[in-house]
Each structure stands twice: as C-alpha cells, then as structure tokens.
Structure 1
C-alpha cells in the first residue's frame, strides 16, 4: 500500500522484469501468465533454440512457440500501459532534458541538483543552503548535479539506492519470490509472506551460483564433446547393425511367405471339407427321399395286391390292414423341405474374415450364430414336449387333458384327448402310437393312433413323475428321479433292462450307438451323464449352482445341451466319441423370458431346435455345422 501522498502507479517493483530487474520494456506475456521484457525473452531463447517450446524462467510451465518464436508472443498490453503511466507520473523516470522543479522548497524553481539521501530535487538556493549544512545536518549526503546526469544519460534511480516508493529507505533487502530489491517497509506492505534475504547474502549466493554454473557448464561441455566423439566412433557399428536388421527383415518376410502359403493351404482344405460335408449331407437327403419313394411304392404294391384278391382270409385281412396302416404312416410323415435349404444357407452364412494385422495369419472363417426365429406363450406351463416332424412339436400343458401340435409358424392343432387323465409327458413310437406319462407317479400308458389304450406299465416309484422317450427300436425309456433308468420293450409289457444312475436323472435318451444320455435337469447340481447298457459311465458335464442342463440328440447322434440361467439360454453342440463328448461348437447366449426351471429341448432337424421353458415355446435356428 502506497504511503500517504504517493501515487500508486509509483510501485515500480511490480513493473520490474524478473530477468533484468528493470522496469519492463515491451512487456511480453507467456502462457503461464508471467511477463518479461521481449528482449530478455529473446536473449533467453537463444540458449534453447534446439527445442520447439519455451519453459518459463520462473515456473517452468511450457509456452508453445510458432515459427517466429519470441516475436510471435503476445504483448502484455495492461503492463505496458502501466509502465507508460508510471514513467510519465514519476519525475525520477523522466528524461533529464525535461524541466524538473525543486521539491525541497515551495517556490517551484528549476532544479539544478538532486540529493540521494534526501530524495529531493533542489534549486540553486536550496543547493547552496544544503551545501552549507553538509558538515552538520546533511553530513554524508550525496548531491548529484543534473547536468552530470544529463551528460551520462542515466536516471536518478540508477544512481540512488533509495526505494522508489518509500523515498527515504534504502533498498537493502531482496525478495526471492519477486526477484527484486526492496526496502524493509515493502516487506510489510507488498511482500508479506515472501522469502526475504539481505543484499550481501544475495550477492554471495549469486556469486556462488554463478561459480557453480560456470564449473558445471564447463564440465557438461567437455562431456558433450567427448560424447560427440563417442557417437561418431559408433557410426560404423550402427551401419553394421542396420545391415543385419535388413537381412533379418528379408529372412522374416521369406519365412512369413512360407507360413502364408501354408495358411492358405489349410484354409482351402477347410473349404474343401465344408463342401465335402455339405455334399455328403445333400446326397444323404436325396438317398432318404429315394428310399422313402421305394418304401411307398413297396407298401402300395402290397396294398394293391391285397385288394385284388376277391376273398380275403382273416390272416390276409389282418396283414392287409397292417400294410394300409404302414402306408398311411409313411404318407403322413412331413417332407423334409428345409434341410437342403439349410445346408445352402449355412454355406452362404460362412464368411471369410481377413485379418487387419499384416503380422498375423491371412484370416479365419466366421462362425454363424444361432437365433430365435419365433416364440409363443401358452396359458399354462409346458409339462412335456416331443418332436412331431421337422418343423413342429407336440406339447402337453400342466393339468391338461389334451395335447397340442404347433409348428414354427405358430399354426396349432389339438390332438388326442384323454378325459380320464392328465398329460405329464409324451413320446411317439412308430405307427403314431403315443406313450403317455399321466398324473400318476408310477403309471405309463401306450395308446394307439385312435386313442385306444394298448398297454399300461407300472414303474417303480421315484422322486418325480416319470418322463418318457423312445429309443431307435421303439423301446421305451423311463426316468423318474430315481437311481436307475428303466427300459421297456416297444409294447410296454416287459421291463427288459435297468441302468444304474447315481445322479437321479429326470430325463433319459437313447442314441443309435446304444449309449444312454441322462440329465438331472433342475437339480443342484445339474448333471448330464452318458452310460452304456451295462451302466458304465462316460463323460459327465456338471453345471454351476443356479445353472440347469437339458440335452437333446439329433439324427446324426450329435448332442445339443441347453444351459439355462437367469433368463439366458446357452446352446453347446457335442460330438460323441464312445462314451465321451467332444465340444464342437458353442453359440452365443440367447435372451429368454424368465420361467420355470423345468425345461425341454428337442432336435427337429439339422438346423432347427425347439426349446420350452415355463409357459414359453421357442423355435431356434442353429448353424448347419
């Protein structure tokens, strides 16, 4: 704070360049906010021309320079304006050829001298009186002639060690924060809490710093010169190393070209294998269609021969009736109109994905994902589900007395109705015979196509209602959460075999090879296990807590396993190797509606699955792998 009667603009220490310690000349602003004389910054920049930016001499914050370097930095207009005002207001900063008035008396005469100790300009009279008192009151005062100041072209401030704000006080202290000399009053007014040092100490420190920097600079320059010699001596070594690198690159390219050729051969082999597999499947479809034509023609011939006989004996009448039933069953089977299309679409869905990284292999083939093509909600939980043909299933609902046939488009048809019982699970044998698990814990019924009951089986009671499935020879498999799987001959009259199963399965399926696939379904833990007819165990797949496994077998003896967990369905395809399962593909998770943990999975065709969970039925398209 300026003393009474003093101009605030005279606080010149706030307008002093930290580098030259003089009042700013063409004040220039850095990004950090610090200001310096432009000429000081240009001199400073000469020492670091090799770097693109400038570090502030005070705080080291970097200022970005353009191609003009310091000349391109902005001027501090505010500081330059204050400097101009200060110079015009402070008489000590005026040019000595201006008219300076006496400040020691009240007459306003022209000044001829200046007393540094008194900080007064004096006219001839005051100068004479001041001189007469030099041996008493003004002893030791230094008086300067203004003519001498004019000849030497210097300012009064340069000759005086007095504070420009507090005129009578010497600037014998140094503010380390502001890098300026100040008086003791300034430490209280404008430099509170700053680091203040005595002038002699500052001079000693500066001398020590200069000496240290001189020695360090000489040592650094010597080391740099020695380093330059070292670098030049290593130039030949660099050339040798780069030549080796060139040779290594050429060798790597050669090896990579061989690897790429091998990768190309392997990829083309995969394409050939895909074509061979699909061609084989197409041929199989064609053979099946031809075989079906032959069966129809053979059955039709037997039917025609029988009807031509005028008098049919009882045995021949029975045989003729059976022939008619067989022909009707063959004709009722749906045509496989989708498999060939699925095979073609599966090949088209496979894409070759070239790699973006030139250091890796050529690329790889994409794996098509499965997707839900349709879903349907029923008013009650689905209790049982079985394949009807390649795009439809038959389901039984909780507490229902009839079963419903539904296809992937949503077309529905009510089928057999048995008022005397509830359906719990269903399966179909040849000639459209239906095996029904009812609301009894131990009874299973076999019904003809017209609904008449052909047989009733009593199953040893287990921990749940029995679930049924049909084997390759029309045998009936029963699982009821007991420690064994029951196998009955096709009529249902005789229990032919039992297989011990410690995992208490709720589902069991026979495959063409003779193995039995079991699942404990919604038990914790849920386990899928393979057995042979003698009860020898093979692969077991165990789910984590809260995950439930449901298997299904397709026409190629491949096994799909559905893992159900918190509204998600994860399908995995396995191939059978004896009693072991080898994972062939795992598809992306599908989102399903949360429902009961009692679920069913059925393979309809090579590219279509049906999945039931709670009240929901899903038709899922899977890649033709």
Structure 2
C-alpha cells in the first residue's frame, strides 16, 4: 500500500504537458496546474494573446499583461515536491522491516535497490542489459524515471492494457470487468506506447517538412530583398557618378532622385519584410508546438496528460493545415523594385542629372535583322525567336544567346508540345513536327495554303492541341497531333486573327487596335480597344493577361496586366523607348521566372 501511495503521489507531481516533475507550478482558473515554462510555450503558440486555454479541460484563463509569471503559484504542490525530493528512498526489494536506503533504480524492473540487492541484480545474466540509474542522478533531475503505474483498484497489478475508446490504461482485471463490451478497443500498453511513439515521429517529420517549406520561402524573400537592394545601390551609384561629373548646384536634385529611388524600393522591401515576418511567426509557432508534442521523453499515462497530448496534437494538426506559401506575392512585389532604373539626361539638360525610369534587364540585338516572325517560351524557361529567313534562336532570362536550331526552316510561327517537341509553321502555312533533337517527324497536316488562307499564325495549348489562324480566310483550324484534316474550325466573323494565343478555354486574338477574348466557337466574350496603340497579348505565369501597347510613331511601349475579363490590374512598364524597326511586327511573352520579353523585328527587350 505504501508503494502504491508513493506511485500515486509521484504521478500527481508530474506536469500533464512535459510529463516531468513540476517546476515553478502555476494554477489556472480551472484549477489545473502546469509548469511555468510549459504555460509560456502554450501562450506563444497561440500568438501571445491575453487568454490561455487549458490543455486538459480547454477552459480559458486570463493572463495579466501576457505574463505567465503573474499567475498564482501552487505553493502546496511546490512544497510537496521539495519534501519528496528531500526524502530518502528505501530499497523496495528487501523484505525486512528495517529497509536500507536505495542507491540505484532499475528502469526495467521498476524497483529501487540497496547496494546488496544491486550487487545480486547486476550478477544475474538476464538483468545485465537493464537500464539502471544512480539515485544521485535522479535526485539532481538530470534523468527521468520511467515509472510502472499500478492499478488504483488493484494496487498489485500493473496497468498493462490501454482502452482506445476510454482513453485510459487499465490492468487485466479491469479490462475483463469494464472494457469488454462493444465499443471498447483494448490493446496492450506496450503496443499503445509503440503506436504513440510512431505517431510522434510522423508528426515530427511533417512538422520538419512544413518548417523546411516555410524556411525556403523565407530564404526566397531574402533573395528578392537582396535583388531589390542591389537595384537601389546600382541606381544610387549611377546617380552619384552623374553628380560627380557636374557641379555643386545639382546637390538638391541629386537628393531628390535618391529619395525617389529609396521611396520606390523601400516600399517594396517593407512589403517583403511583412511577408517574411508573417511566415517566420508561423515557423516559430509550428516549431514550438511540434517540439512540445514530439520531444517529450515520457509517454502520457494518466487522463490529464492524455487530454493535454490530444489538445497539443489537435493544435499541431491545425498548424499543419496552413497552406504552403504563394511565391507569386514576393515575385510581384519585388518586380516593382527591380524595375527601377536611373536614366541620365544627355545634351542641353545635363545639369538635371536624369530621372528614375523602369529598368530593362537586357536589350539584345537579334542576330538576323528584320526577320523575326514569332516568339514563344520554351519548356526549359528560355525564349525561342523564329526567323522568316530560317532558324530558331533561344535566349535565357538574362539575355544570353543559348543555341540556334532548325536553320533550314523558314519560320512563320513556332510552338512546343508538352514532351518538348517543336511545332513549326513555315511561310507556306505548312506544319512540321520535330523531336527535341531536331529530327523531323512524318505527321502531315492539311492546312490552308497562303493563297487560300493568307498570312497564318500558330499556338499550342496545354493539351497539345494545335491552332492555326488565317487572316484572309478569317478562321482558325484546330489539329490533333495525329495530323491530317482539321478536327474542327473556329469562325472569326468581323475580325481577322492576326496573332493568336491559347488561354484556358478561350483564345486571345490581337488585331489592329483591339484585343479580343473569344470562346472555342469564335464568339467574342470580352474586348479591349487601345485607341491609337497597337496591342499585343500574352498569358502571364499567374494566368492573367499581359498586354503591350505600342506607339509606333514615337517608339514607346507600355505593358499592363489584366484579368480574364480584360479588366486592368496594374501597370508594369510605362512608356519605355525602343528602337523603331522597319517592319511593324511584335511579340510579347513571359519567362517562367517572371521576366517579360518584348520582341521587335530587330531586338529583344527583357524587363525585370
């Protein structure tokens, strides 16, 4: 009976959250007690609010000024813990009334041994592998004792079974008497402990993966911040270089320009910092609650500990349901900062230094002048430019020329299939398929000749369906990869399909001063007129529509983003000056890494 009482007292001295002996115990308004450190962690997991929810009964307790130390201390429990620590532990193996003081505790036997019993225990072959702890280590708190719980109704019997429905441990007698009816699922305590540890390991793995996901997002934000900071530094350097070449009276103008650069970039950095802060707070909360669930050295045994564990697991599951980060937000925010550039004045107004303008990452002269007929993004995030004089050139997002292929093909339009094969439309309106290694395939497509259909354009949708438009015939033919005759035709009544782009279940048609969004029956669903400008459309990486508006007479291009109903979202590039080509023909596309490519017959412009 004395041992049973000691075990009961020992259980009462364990915190339901950390499963260790209470340290600085604090009482909640519901009368449940926890370690101060455990309550601090729980408060942090819930955003450091004024209210603290009890893990056992889920009642709420007001925390004054979010300071757990101001909660009332459980002085009686604290005193009892000190008394228990200061008591001697006697040998539980000796049968004599005058039991000697224990010197070790065997974790496997669940008994305290005096020096004599320990000598005998250590010599028994079956006990050599047992985990034996010195009493000095136990008293110091350096190690945790694994206790064997005895049944309160049958003090001589271990609670060797666990009822999953009642959420409690029981001895064999209690199982037979109380847990055999329908609805009681009883397993061995060892099996439950094994399942519990496996569940903890699974939760820890998921938490680690989720934490890694968000940390990657934070690293990405840091990278975007660094790029924006580099833009700010470069602009400041350019402004200072111009300033040093001039006289002191331009000091005021210099400070105005630098202030404008900082104003644009620091706003972006602030947005990125807010995104980073939000995610880091989630990482901290996720880490704290995951550690509370997965790093405990003991198995929760009594009902309070099990209730606390269930609550913590539920909180962790809620945290794991948080959606993965959306990279679109930092890309869009950083793009506003990366597009800032300094344009120095030349000629009569050099004392004005210059002005802050949108930056173009690269301005590349095409290898073949006045021959560009089409441009499309490649599966490996390059930009392919097709030439009427023959060949396809590819360029990386930083403007580096990568390779030249299909030099023998005069290109009118070019596209790519999902398996990286080329789809080429030549100037005779014939379609040819090529492998990624530029091997010609045998498929034949019955397209309209130039005499029948007029000038043609080509696009390929996400299902590898090929569309060919004809300005003279005013229709679009639809082909499968098998070739042969068109599987259907889309009439274009009242408009010529000059440039076509596949967009979800629609087609984007560019012609004259209008952009039209038509369905697969040719019906115009939405229309946008750019008076005085020639618009060219592309699909963005976020499934919105990009439209480049060109003022050919003065050589200015602006690029804006629109919804799927052609409603304006934001301006991306404003009145950027391009070199006027001889031929009025342009293409707009976007890299997967978010850079925007605008191609004229002579040059490729890449905007960050």
Higher Cα Rg, which structure: 1
TM-score range, shorter chain: 0.3 to 0.5
The higher-RCO structure (CA 8 Å, 6+ apart) is 2
TM-score by length of 1: 0.39
